[in-house]
């Protein structure tokens, strides 16, 4: 494993771009290969077995392209497929997930607050956030709720629109989240709704925006392992299993550049 090798990042679609973007900002020397599995989106509605098999296929693709690290930039896959991916990858690359850095941040900075967690059915159904937070802080107050319409809505480009504003209202007004003091956006798609959610709560709830926290954690771990690229200007490559114009638009919105998107279906 050489420090100059790229970092692989994957998600079911555009969500992981929030993490890839935070990583690219923080680590300008690094090259990234991004894979959005748009053909199988949404992961949040799939069984654990299906998410594990997609994740392993993508990990193989990233390894075949020489990645020194694989970032599972998807909460649904992090909560169901992490162990399987770690076992499969072995010592061929470092494997990162998006849940543990957030749990550490909550326990460190929001432990005495009433914590709300929203994510896909797969993530919320796994109970992973609650389990991990309570393992470190047994009397923590955690309220979780699945918001399954959010990821497909974002994937279709509906953020900052009347559609997203109304959908957010319909979910967040539910009693499950009553009295929360902070809210974890436990799906990598959701930072695209940050502003809409912030406007809904009007400052009464702290929104925990996760990509920067995850990126800081990955940087620190790569540094510790001596795997940061000391020089060079990073290259970005984007692949999707099924081309969608809205993916390209969102990628351009994030990276403020022309994005060359390659369609590559690993299952054909």
Nearest Cα to 87, choosing from 121, 52, 117? 52
**Interacting residue with ligand DGL among 75, 164, 244, 250 (CB under 6 A):** 75
How many residues lie near ligand DGL (CB under 6 A)? Answer: 18
The catalytic position among 95, 187, 197, 222 is 187
Element (H, E) at 94: strand 94-97
- Does residue 211 interact with ligand DGL by CB under 6 A? no
* Close Cβ partners of 45 (under 8 Å, ≥ 6 residues apart): 120, 121, 122, 148
Query: 42: cis peptide before it, omega within 30°?
Result: yes
CB of 44 to ligand DGL, least distance (A): 3
Smallest separation (angstroms) from ligand DGL to the CB of 48: 13
Burial of 32 (0-12, 13-18, 19+ CB in 10 A): buried
Of 75 and 164, which has the nearer Cβ to ligand DGL?
Answer: 75
Shortest Cβ 98–ligand DGL spacing (Å)? 7
Q: Are 117 and 184 in contact (CB under 8 A)?
A: yes
The 10 Å CB-count burial string (b at 16+, else e) for 184-211 is bbbbbbbbbbeebbeebeeeebbbbbbb
Containing 35, the helix (H) or strand (E) segment is strand 32-36
Place of tokens 């993508």: 58
Token pair in block for residue 48 = 């654990």
Shortest spacing between CB 241 and ligand DGL, in angstroms: 12
Q: Which stretch binds ligand DGL (CB under 6 A): 63-71, 169-177, 184-192, 198-206?
A: 184-192
The two structure tokens encoding residue 45:
């509605």
Residues 33-72 binding ligand DGL (CB under 6 A) are: 41-44
Q: Pick one of 6, 7, 10, 11: the residue that binds ligand DGL (CB under 6 A).
A: 11
98 to 127: interface string for ligand DGL, x by CB under 6 A = ---------------------xx--x----
| Closest distance of CB 233 from ligand DGL, Å | 28
Reply yes or no on whether 67 is catalytic: no
The CA distance from 92 to 111, in Å, is 36
Select from 5, 38, 80, 188 the one that contacts ligand DGL (CB under 6 A). Answer: 188
Write out the residues near ligand DGL by the rule CB under 6 A: 11-13, 15, 41-44, 74-76, 119-120, 123, 151, 187-189
Which residues have a catalytic role annotated? Answer: 74, 187
């Amino acid at each position: 494993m050489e420090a100059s090798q790229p970092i692989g990042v994957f998600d079911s679609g555009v969500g992981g771009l929030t993490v890839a973007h935070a990583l690219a900002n923080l680590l300008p020397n690094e090259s990234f290969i991004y894979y959005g599995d748009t053909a199988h989106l949404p992961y949040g509605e799939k069984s654990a077995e299906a998410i594990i098999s997609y994740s392993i296929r993508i990990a193989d693709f990233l390894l075949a392209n020489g990645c020194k690290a694989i970032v599972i930039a998807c909460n649904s896959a992090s909560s169901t497929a992490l162990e399987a991916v770690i076992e499969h990858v072995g010592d061929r690359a470092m494997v990162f997930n998006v849940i543990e850095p957030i749990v550490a941040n909550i326990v460190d900075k929001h432990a005495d607050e009433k914590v709300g967690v929203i994510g896909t059915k797969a993530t919320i159904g796994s109970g992973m956030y609650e389990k991990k937070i309570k393992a470190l802080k047994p009397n923590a107050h955690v309220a979780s709720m699945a918001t399954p319409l959010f990821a497909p809505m974002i994937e279709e480009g509906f953020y900052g629109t009347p559609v997203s504003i109304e959908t957010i209202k319909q979910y967040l007004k539910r009693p499950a989240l009553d009295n929360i003091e902070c809210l974890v956006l436990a799906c990598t798609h959701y930072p695209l709704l940050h502003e809409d959610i912030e406007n809904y709560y009007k400052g009464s709830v702290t929104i925990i925006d996760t990509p920067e926290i995850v990126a800081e954690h990955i940087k620190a771990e790569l540094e510790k392992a001596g795997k940061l690229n000391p020089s060079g200007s990073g290259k970005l490559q984007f692949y999707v299993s099924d081309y969608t114009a809205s993916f390209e638009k969102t990628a351009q919105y994030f990276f403020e550049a022309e994005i060359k998107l390659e369609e590559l279906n690993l299952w054909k």
